[in-house]
């Protein structure tokens, strides 16, 4: 497995490099990859293995990681869970949005999710499923790419030009040879958002998944985004515009109105 992230150099005298490196190690653990050894962490973070070894020891001592001696690997401990819960509990939009998300998910038998940006990904803060068994099942804390998903494209479409250009530059560097295709999808999503109030990803992130996405600017200026989607063989491209998109757009408007009184 190659390196998937690296520390951003920061020349500020107030920047604590050791702290940043410790947080990079915690970021290396993702859903589905809960057990990692020092070598795997080094590959994911780009940090030297001796540095990783010292930091994982420290994080274990502080209660943020636990060590599985039989496997020789680390996993997040309850200290990380406590931090994550504190973050989620401060997102009041989750409590307001969940009943409406559930109503939409049941109406169209699809998956409806709420997410916020983390680097070049969107992280799920809430997720509800329709009652059917044929929905896309991703849990809270799951990460999906900004560039190719309906949720991520909706987030991009609602950003001020300067912030969008900054993100697009990083996406371009990350995409490599795929950039022309990725760029075309993002530009089409921006046109869709301007015309319809939602964005579409039809097989762009996963060829088996179709979805729509819409952004919401919260009263405190935080930007989040919602999506609604499912298997492409059940949710046609046409249905994204005739049913899911308009329904999602209306749901997001209703959540926005409710948040002004929250």
Q: Are 189 and 200 in contact, with CB atoms under 8 Å apart?
A: yes
What kind and span of H or E run contains 67? Answer: strand 65-68
Distance from C-alpha of 213 to C-alpha of 141, rounded to nearest angstrom: 18
Measure the CA–CA gap between 116 and 122, rounded to whole angstroms: 5
In the block, tokens 């921006």 appear at 190
Distance of CA 65 to the CA centre of its chain: 23
Closest CA to 186 of 147, 225, 222, 223: 147
pLDDT at position 6: 45
Instruction: Find the helix packing angle between 17-27 and 49-61, rounded to 10°.
Output: 80
Q: Report the run of H or E that residue 128 belongs to, with start and end.
A: strand 121-129
**In this structure, is the dihedral angle defined by the CA atoms of residues 81, 106, 209 and 223, taken in order, positive or negative?**
negative
pLDDT for the residue 131 = 83
User: Distance between CA atoms of 198 and 249, rounded to whole angstroms?
Assistant: 6
pLDDT given for residue 31 in this prediction: 77
All domains of the chain in start order, with CATH: 17-79 (1.10.10.10), 91-259 (3.30.450.40)
List the Cα angle 9/153/121 in 5-degree steps.
Answer: 40
Residues 6+ apart with CB under 8 A from 118: 143
Report pLDDT for 70: 94
Whole-number Å distance between alpha carbons of 179 and 124: 25
Tell me the DSSP string of 152-198: HHHHHHTS-HHHHHHHHHHHHHHHGGGHHHHHHHHHHHHHHHHHHSS
230: Cβ–Cβ under 8 A, 6 or more apart, which residues?
Answer: 109, 110, 111, 130, 134, 135, 136, 209, 210, 211
pTM listed for this prediction = 0.86
Please list the pLDDT of the chain residue by residue as tens digits (262 residues): 344 444 445 667 889 999 999 999 999 998 777 799 999 999 999 999 999 999 999 999 999 999 999 999 999 999 998 888 778 777 899 999 999 999 999 999 999 999 999 999 999 999 999 887 566 678 888 899 999 999 999 999 999 999 999 999 999 999 999 999 999 999 999 999 999 999 999 999 999 999 999 999 999 999 999 999 999 998 999 999 999 999 999 999 999 999 998 7
Cα–Cα dist 115/136, whole Å: 15
């Amino acid at each position: 497995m190659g390196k998937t992230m690296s520390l951003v150099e920061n020349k500020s005298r107030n920047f604590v490099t050791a702290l940043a490196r410790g947080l990079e190690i915690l970021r290396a653990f993702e859903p589905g990859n809960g057990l990692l050894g020092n070598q795997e962490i080094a590959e994911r973070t780009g940090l030297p293995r001796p540095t990783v070894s010292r930091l994982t020891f420290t994080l274990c001592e502080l209660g943020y990681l636990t060590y599985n001696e039989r496997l020789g690997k680390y996993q997040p401990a309850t200290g990380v869970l406590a931090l994550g819960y504190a973050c989620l509990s401060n997102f009041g939009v989750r409590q307001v949005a969940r009943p409406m998300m559930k109503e939409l998910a049941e109406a169209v038998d699809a998956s409806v999710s709420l997410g916020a940006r983390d680097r070049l990904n969107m992280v799920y803060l809430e997720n509800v499923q329709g009652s059917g068994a044929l929905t896309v099942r991703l849990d809270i804390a799951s990460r999906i790419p900004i560039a190719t998903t309906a949720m991520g494209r909706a987030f991009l479409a609602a950003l001020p030009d300067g912030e969008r250009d900054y993100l697009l530059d990083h996406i371009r560097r990350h995409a490599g040879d795929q950039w022309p295709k990725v760029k075309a999808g993002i530009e089409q999503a921006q046109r869709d958002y301007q015309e319809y109030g939602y964005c579409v990803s039809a097989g762009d992130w996963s060829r088996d998944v179709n979805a729509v996405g819409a952004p919401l600017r919260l009263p405190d200026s935080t930007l989040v985004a919602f999506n609604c989607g499912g298997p492409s063989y059940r949710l046609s491209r046409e249905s994204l515009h005739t049913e899911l998109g308009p329904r999602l757009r209306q749901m997001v408007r209703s959540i926005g109105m409710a948040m002004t009184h929250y």
